[in-house]
Amino acid sequence: MSVSENAYRIAVLTKYVPDTQFEQKLDDTLRVDRSESVMSELDEYAVEAAMQIVEAEDTDAANSAVIAFTLGAADASKGLRRALQLGAHAGVHILDDAFAGADALATSRIIAAALSTYEQEHGTFDLILTGMASTEGETSLVPVQVSELLGRIGISQVASLTVAGRTVRARRDLDTRSQHCETELPALISVTDQVNTPRYPNFKALMAAKKKPITTVNAADIADELAKFGGSASTVTVTEAQAREERTAGETIVDEGDGGIQLVEFLASRNLI
């Protein structure tokens, strides 16, 4: 627990995902090819939310800390480094071949175990922040599953977030209305891309990030029963995959006075009107 009411220890969960500039591919094991990857863009909003909390005027910044976590292969440390460039004070890389192929539930178990192990040594996190989803999986399952596994209050899809003392206030924007939620710390919150505008790291931040520590933990550090973790514990297995069909060229309608009629006929032929 924090040393004062206005000091916050925050964990931010990040994921190393294929760069959206490139087409997603599967490798020979039918897993996502992460050779061209970056920290998930949606996780930048979670890092920024954490930094705004610890940088607020009434925060005890000297006793506050933001720790970024990631689960992935060796290259995932590059994603952690991005979180450090955005302001996080340190990183934790959960790295072990035993965790390869984990589905959303197994992934949540691994992350929850890593967080619990870290808290046993360093104290409870006041707040755990995540993005609304990963840009490659887009399941939004991990935040709510981790909160359940940790037995911690969870609020998902938060578009506005404030923390004052030990109180969290959040707004969730639904299709036709907004929900206003309030809870006490500790809590786990997933934020949307409406919650803030992530900062762009300057040269000083880029240089400082190179000196910030990244700790690596493996299966032996966090898991007593490996049967609950990794690919062997996953309830979802990909057995077959094929490339999607390439899009065909569209049909061009040249308006020579009857463009509207042609358009209606085109839509009618496809039962769209």
Q: What does the block give as tokens for 271?
A: 């039962």
Q: What is the structure's pLDDT at 227?
A: 66
Q: How far apart are alpha carbons 67 and 162 in whole angstroms?
A: 19
Tell me the per-residue pLDDT of 223-271, one tens digit each, with 9 for 90 and over. 766 667 776 777 777 777 777 777 777 888 888 888 888 889 888 888 8
Q: Where are the alpha helices (DSSP H) in the chain?
A: 43-55, 77-85, 104-122, 141-150, 203-209, 219-222, 259-269
Residue 85: exposure state from Cβ atoms within 10 A (0-12, 13-18, ≥19): buried
Spell out the domain ranges in the chain. Answer: 9-248
Q: Where are the alpha helices (DSSP H) in 58-200?
A: 77-85, 104-122, 141-150
What CATH number has the domain spanning 9-248?
3.40.50.620
Q: What does the block give as tokens for 148?
A: 């359940």
Tell me the per-residue pLDDT of 143-164, one tens digit each, with 9 for 90 and over. 999 999 999 999 999 999 999 9
Q: One-letter amino acid identity for 61?
A: A
Q: What is the structure's pLDDT at 244?
A: 74
Residue 259 belongs to what H/E stretch?
helix 259-269
